[in-house]
């Protein structure tokens, strides 16, 4: 029989698993939007868009503060996510310019 602490840890882990599932669903939604945006961009500079990246980072850091999350963790997470989505956009729309192909392009 497991201890009350282990049951609590199991419940917390189950909660984390539920949050992870929702995050992956939202990442899929974000990916669909990124793919749509990628079709509208004229070149690789528009895909990389460092000024836009910094706007997004500033916005999500402010959201993190509003919601009581760590701005540093949110920033690191978003920088990694944005880099992965840039790689995906390049692979899909500008394969000749992409040094890395994180996933094969999905047919739209």
pLDDT tens-digit profile of 32-57? Answer: 999 999 999 999 999 999 999 999 99
Q: Does some domain include residue 87?
A: yes
Q: What pLDDT score was predicted for residue 78?
A: 98
Q: Does some domain include residue 80?
A: yes
Locate 58 and state its tokens. 């500033």
Q: Does some domain include residue 106?
A: no
pTM of the model: 0.82
Q: What average pLDDT does this structure show over 71-97?
A: 93
Residue 7 has pLDDT above 90, yes or no: no
Report the candidate in 35, 29, 58, 59 with the shortest Cα–Cα distance to residue 47.
35
Please state whether 43 falls in left (phi above 0), alpha (psi between -120 and 50) or beta.
beta
**Cα angle at 36 between 82 and 28, to 5 degrees?**
55
Q: Does some domain include residue 103?
A: no
Q: What is the number of domains present in the chain? A: 1
Which range of residues forms the domain containing residue 89? 4-97
Question: Which residue has tokens 């990389």?
Answer: 48
Domain of 22, CATH number, reads 1.20.59.10
């Amino acid at each position: 029989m497991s201890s009350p602490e282990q049951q609590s840890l199991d419940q917390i882990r189950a909660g984390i698993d539920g949050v992870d599932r929702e995050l992956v669903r939202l990442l899929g939604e974000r990916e669909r939007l990124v793919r749509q945006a990628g079709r509208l961009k004229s070149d690789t500079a528009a895909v990389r868009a460092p000024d836009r990246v910094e706007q997004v980072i500033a916005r999500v850091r402010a959201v993190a503060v509003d919601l009581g999350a760590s701005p540093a963790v949110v920033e690191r997470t978003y920088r990694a996510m944005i880099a992965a989505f840039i790689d995906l956009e390049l692979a899909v729309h500008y394969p000749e310019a992409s040094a890395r192909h994180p996933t094969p392009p999905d047919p739209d």
